[in-house]
Amino acid sequence: MKLLVSVPASIANLGSGFDTFGLAIDLRNEVEIEYAQELSVTEEGVKIEGEDLFLKTFKEVMESNGIDWGYKIKKISMIPPKKGLGSSAASIILGIAAALEINKKFSRQKIFEMATQIEGHPDNVAAAVFGGFTVSAHLKTGYNAVSMEPMCKEITILIPPFSTSTHEARKILPQTVPLEDAVFNLQRAAMVLANLRDKRMLQEFFEDKLHQDLRLSLHPELKAFFEKTKSKVEDPIFLCGSGTAIAIMGTHEIEVPHGWEVLHKKTSIEGIIVRYV
């Protein structure tokens, strides 16, 4: 019998919801696990070792629970790395979820808390664990998340051939912001939530003054393309996480520069999926 675990891609921030909003996307990383004499992890037929994030997390959780490592694991990665689509969060969650399920301790809340501690912020993790559209926060009681039905069923993702490291995208942000900029974002994030039930989403609700322009400016060609595309579409458009992918709600046929990739995906109401075959 094989254990199958899959985790969706996720988009964080969604413009105005900096470090708070997350959206699960039906694009998944997964692992197939079966018992063996020793631990082996392969991807596309190649043995994985070293600093692979899934392998590292899986080993750490197995060790902490005193479980034998004797498993044969096949890893399948569909989420593009370093594009703002939650690939690192998905790898961490896969490692934790697989190890906890083997140990019969599977709990979405526990996985959420453990993965957030490793990832450092809850927005991508919340969407990938619970699915749907999520709002997350670090409260006095710990990390909390609420999952709701997504505000759209389909999304267009535009992926350039260049990347931005999360560290670099964090470092560029200021430590303090003007009061009017904070209020600007609070008002628009509140409008997203206020209109969620009716799914009446305006592009203006997703505008941002805290992070997006600064991160787009790391790649002038990305910023120019974003502004040009924004002027041509009425649906909400935003940078995916810290970049460099761009997302537009709904299905759109967008002409992109050479070397870019266009994905038309559904949002996912499901987070982690665990099943046996």
Question: DSSP labels for 131-163?
Answer: -SEEEEEEETTEEEEEEE--S-SEEEEEE-S--
* Same domain as 123, residue 173: no
Contact 170, 242 (CB under 8 A): yes
Exposure of 249 by Cβ count < 10 A (0-12 exposed, 13-18 middle, 19+ buried)? buried
**Of how many residues is the chain composed?**
277
Same domain, 204 and 76: no
275 CB-near residues (< 8 Å, 6+ apart): 4
Give the whole-angstrom CA distance, residue 155 versus residue 208: 19
Of 118, 147, 195, which Cα lies nearest the Cα of 21?
Answer: 147
| Whether residue 173 sits in one domain with residue 60 | no
Which three-class secondary structure state does DSSP give residue 8? strand
Q: Are residues 40 and 86 in the same domain?
A: yes
Helix, strand, or coil here: 99?
helix
What is the pLDDT tens value at each position of the chain, 277 positions in all? 899 999 999 999 999 999 999 999 999 999 999 999 888 899 988 998 778 999 999 999 998 877 776 899 999 999 999 999 999 999 999 999 999 999 999 999 999 999 999 998 999 999 999 999 999 999 999 999 999 999 999 999 999 999 987 777 788 999 999 999 999 999 999 999 999 999 899 999 999 999 999 999 999 999 999 999 999 999 999 999 998 999 999 999 999 999 999 999 999 999 999 999 9
Instruction: Give yes or no: residues 146 and 161 share one domain.
Output: no
Asked if 223 contacts 217 with a C-beta cutoff of 8 angstroms, the reply is: yes
The pLDDT value recorded for residue 65 is 79
Same domain for 111 and 239 = no
Cross-sheet strand order for the sheet of 154-159 = 237-239, 246-249, 154-159, 261-266
**pLDDT at residue number 190:** 98
Q: Is residue 24 domain-shared with residue 132, that is, in the same domain?
A: yes
User: Residue 235's domain is classified under what CATH number?
Assistant: 3.30.70.890
Q: Are 142 and 208 part of one and the same domain?
A: no
**β partners of residue 42:** 47, 74
| Residues 7, 113 share a domain | yes
Q: What pLDDT does residue 177 have?
A: 95
What is the span of the domain harbouring residue 188? 154-266
pLDDT the model gives residue 67: 73
**Does one domain contain both 89 and 198?**
no
The domain that contains 111 carries what CATH number? 3.30.230.10
Within this chain, do residues 130 and 184 fall inside the same structural domain, yes or no? Answer: no
Residues 6+ apart with CB under 8 A from 76: 29, 30, 31, 32, 43
Q: Same structural domain for residues 132 and 178? A: no
Total domains present in the chain? 2
Give the CA distances from residue 6 to residues 94, 107, 162, 235, 243, in Å, rounded to whole numbers and listed in that order.
7, 15, 26, 30, 23
